[in-house]
């Protein structure tokens, strides 16, 4: 019996493992209930992560734009 790590499961989910390793892992998932449970948890977590949408707060963007504007103004006045 082969021992698979969480990294092995993540690589399998993202289709980054070799065809040979994928075949062995797929067979193990069909027969090993504990491994299948770990796989399901990781698969669910990946699905949740893919739904997250991140964007900066408006104040952060405004601060960056204000800083850039001040920097350009300062450079213009020095020339």
- Give the 3-state secondary structure of residue 67: helix
Q: List, for residues 18-48, the tens digit of each pLDDT value.
A: 999 999 999 999 999 999 999 999 999 998 8
What is the pLDDT of the chain when averaged over all its residues? 92
Look at residue 72 and tell me whether its pLDDT is greater than 90: no
pLDDT at 49: 85
Backbone phi, psi, residue 28, to 5°: -65, -40
b/e per residue, 42-77, with b = 16+ CB within 10 A? eeeeeeeeeeeeeeeeeeeeeeeeeeeeeeeeeeee
CA 29 to chain centre: 23
């Amino acid at each position: 019996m082969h021992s698979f790590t969480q990294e092995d499961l993540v690589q399998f989910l993202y289709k980054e493992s070799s065809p040979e390793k994928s075949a062995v892992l797929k067979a193990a998932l069909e027969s090993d209930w504990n491994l299948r449970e770990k796989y399901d948890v990781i698969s669910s977590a990946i699905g949740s992560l893919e739904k997250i949408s991140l964007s900066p707060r408006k104040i952060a963007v405004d601060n960056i734009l204000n800083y850039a504007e001040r920097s350009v103004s300062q450079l213009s006045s020095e020339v």
